[in-house]
Amino acid sequence: MNEKEYSEYVQGRAKKSPILKNCAFAFLFGGLICTIGQALNDLYTYFGFEKEISGTLVSITLIFIACLLTGIGVFDNIAKIAGAGTLVPITGFANAVASQAVDTKSEGYIMGVGAKIFTIAGPVILYATLSGAIYGVIYYIITLIGG
């Protein structure tokens, strides 16, 4: 069986994905997470926190909720329904880190959790840092040229 035949065979056997439904759920759940974030921001502001502090507290709260839901095994069940909607950056990143911690806990805290916690999130951190550095250099050059 050559590559083309194999590809056709796999496509014929693969379950068709309900793209419209998946997009709608991702939109709704992603929007719900953002709405919760905005509600938390409004709540923190109502209690007298400054705008910048409120934003930080929202981030901390969303990370805590995502990690808690991952730890008790609920986040994955939500993600099965919500799909990409749970990948709203802060909750998706928190889940990626926390799920590695949960999965490798049985190997011990040093060789398991400590060594493997950033297995999934590590490349994200690396390329985000690299992108930021490249952007900074480009910005610096443009400001030198532009005056």
Q: Which amino acid is at 112?
A: G
Q: Please, which contacts does 50-55 make with residues 24 or more away whose CB atoms are closer than 8 Å?
A: none
Q: Are 89 and 96 in contact (CB under 8 A)?
A: no
Local confidence band at 11 (pLDDT 50, 70, 90 cut-offs): confident
Percent of the chain predicted with pLDDT > 90 = 48
Residue 139 lies in a domain: no
Residue 143 lies in a domain: no
Residue 66 lies in a domain: yes
Structural domains of the chain, count: 1
DSSP 103-138: HHGGG-IIIIIIHHTTTTHHHHHHHHHHHHHHHHHH
pTM > 0.85: yes or no:
no
86: left (phi over 0), alpha (psi -120 to 50) or beta: alpha
Residue 96 lies in a domain: yes
Segment of 16-20, 60-64, 87-91 carrying the highest mean pLDDT: 60-64
Judged on CB neighbours under 10 Å (0-12, 13-18, 19+), 22 is middle
pLDDT per residue as tens digits for the range 68-118: 999 999 998 999 999 888 887 788 888 888 888 777 777 777 777 677 777
CA distance 2 to 8: 10
Residue 44 lies in a domain: yes
For residue 147, the model assigns a pLDDT of 61
48: left (phi over 0), alpha (psi -120 to 50) or beta: left
pLDDT, average across residues 118-142: 87
Residue 39 lies in a domain: yes
Residue 83 lies in a domain: yes
Q: Are 87 and 66 in contact (CB under 8 A)?
A: no
Query: Between these two residues, 14 and 31, which has the higher pLDDT value?
Result: 31
For the cut 70, the answer to whether the pLDDT of residue 138 exceeds it is yes
Residue 61 lies in a domain: yes
Q: Which two tokens stand for residue 23?
A: 């997009």
Instruction: Give the domain range for residue 61.
Output: 19-117
